[in-house]
Amino acid sequence: MSKIILHIDLNQFFVRCEEIKNPSLIGKPVAVGGDGRKGIVSTCSYEARNYGIHSGMPTFQAKMLCKNLILLPGDYKFYELMSKEFINFIKKFTHKVEQMSIDECFCDFTDILDRKGVSPISFLRNLQNNLFKKTGLKCSIGVSTTKFLAKMGSDYKKPMGITIIRKREIPEILFPLPVKDLFGIGKKTYPKLERAGYKTIGDLYYGLKNDDEALSNFFGSYKEDIINNLEGNSSDTIHVGFSDPKSMGMTRTLDFDTNDKVYIRKFLTNLMNTLLDDFSKSGKLCKTIQLTYKSSDYENGFKTNTVSKSLDNYTDSIDELYREGLKLFDKTYKNEEIRLIGFTLKNLKEKHDVVVQMTFENYERHESENKTQLLINELNRKSKKETFIRLSDLKDKKK
């Protein structure tokens, strides 16, 4: 029996979070992103999109297109909090939830929507409305038998859209769409396809299906993946997270494919802070850290690369893991365009299972570091702000 897979995508998520905090922004051209010549738009309101502004655009260009654009730096701690509210809301219906990024998830609703007497459209409309009432967030929902088709469905109507794509409806719904709308076709690939005469998703499908030699050579082994996706024969498996008690990890899809190191490093920093906050409550020690990069190059199969580093000793120091994570990024990121990044803590052990063998030298170092951190914590508590940090941490943050 086919599964019923949903892809739920929050609409203009960062901007919507800012509107929740400040309702006076509603209906205005708003963008979230960095300022200055190197700043990039992470997301923008639909009003800003009417001016031609879009994710990944340099902010100086966005401000030229819209003189009254409201540019906000982004409150990523609040965004993560709202993201958790979103996922917790969905988990009230099903625990088969796979979070893909801060503002989207796949989930398996087979047990709910396959019941007699349940109207899928009515149920999903109520889900949308209740999510909005509970959190203030708006979403679009795609429904199908595979993750790929569900993702295509959620992109089909925005904002607050609901699109059901049955196998027999694929040619009717998807094939007329521009080839650039095919999930996975990047900004470097679709212009090549258009120039070769493949204007729509249907053009691409029939070209591959009919063994067009140039097209088959272009995509290589991924030709079959595209065909399977567009025939409704791809994955319907929901990955609910790490089952290995010896690791904790988090991967997130970037807001857009990019090789902007400053943006990626900031994105990674926010991801690490979220994971390390969960790790601090786990009562575990960590020995190995790992970074995962996923290429945005569809032609080469979205190649995934992992790099890792083992620490000298098991640690529960958030400061150390944070520093080492950024050092590993600075050492291993090669300026390639990526679409996803992940951070994982591996070789975890319970504190009582680890016997720390200290030499006199590192005992003194640990003691000094602990005294320094205790003093910093005490000063920050008194000031009620994160005012004081180590000089070494400040240097890391300025890199």
Catalytic residues: 104
- 343 alpha-carbon distance from chain centroid: 12
Of 55, 70, 12, the C-alpha closest to 254 is 55
Residue 341 contacts residue 254 (beta carbons within 8 Å)? yes
Residue type, position 342, single letter = G
Backbone dihedral region for residue 184 (phi beyond 0: left; psi -120 to 50: alpha; all else: beta):
left
3-state helix, strand, coil in the chain (%, to 5): 45, 20, 30
Beta strands per DSSP E along 94-209: 97-101, 104-108, 139-144, 162-164
Orientation angle between helical segments 391-398 and 318-332, nearest 10 degrees: 30
Q: Which residues contact 47 (CB under 8 A, 6 or more apart)?
A: 27, 28, 29, 30
Q: Which DSSP string corresponds to 289-333?
A: EEEEEEE--GGGT--EEEEEEEEEEEE--HHHHHHHHHHHHHHH-
Within the chain, what is the greatest distance between any pair of CA atoms?
A: 73
Alpha carbons within 13 angstroms on the beta-carbon side of residue 225 total 15
